[in-house]
Amino acid sequence: MIPFVKLPAKIVRLFTSNVAPSRIAAGICLGMFMGFIPLNGAMFIVLLLCLFAFKINRLASILVLPLFKFFYVLGISSFTDAIGGFLLIDAGFLTPFWSIITHLPVLAWLDLNNTLVTGGLVLSSALCLPVYFLSKKGIVVLRGKYLDKVRDSKFTKWLLKLPIIGRIVILVIR
């Protein structure tokens, strides 16, 4: 298929699929968790395994991961580092908790002693419910309001009459 058609086709398939909005919203939240932590650690691998283990929309996670990673690179990484630094270093009352967590056999490998990982997980946890409900509401609104308008527009009907577009639509539907 033509490369520049693949991404819009995936987005259209995401909105027109018969997937529950809650699964799409959960996929967006998991993409946020993966986007706000570094890609080179064991925690990312655990989140990647969650992508395949749970019933969420994988396409939504894969599509929003670059968006959240872009925000992470733009400056949220310094914010997550400050959150993680406060929780791991400055908050003395949490020292016994972190000493227990970092000495457990499996949890010690998850890089929870890294300020970027801990801060990213805490920030993602704090934003998880608002992002979930906003994205779920957004999916419902987009499906109900705009999809029928786009499908029934004169431009879409004219575009589908073109032979090359008809072939692409057949490939996308499969």
Domain ranges in the chain are 7-139
User: What pLDDT was estimated at residue 48?
Assistant: 87
Token pair 């909105």 is found at 15
User: What pLDDT was estimated at residue 171?
Assistant: 47
User: What pLDDT was estimated at residue 86?
Assistant: 92
Q: Which is it for the CA torsion 111, 116, 119, 121, positive or negative?
A: negative
User: For the whole model, what pTM was predicted?
Assistant: 0.76
- Measured distance between the N- and C-terminal CA atoms of the chain, rounded to whole angstroms: 12
| Parts of the chain with a pLDDT under 50 | 1, 171-174
Would you call 26 exposed, middle or buried from its count of C-beta atoms within 10 A (0-12, 13-18, 19+)?
A: buried
Amino acid at 119: G
* Among 62, 35, 13, 32, CA closest to 135: 32
Contact 37, 77 (CB under 8 A): no
Q: Is 80 left (phi over 0), alpha (psi -120 to 50) or beta?
A: alpha
Interatomic CA distance for residues 46 and 12, integer angstroms: 29
6-53: per-residue pLDDT in tens? 555 566 666 556 678 899 999 999 999 999 998 888 888 888 888 889
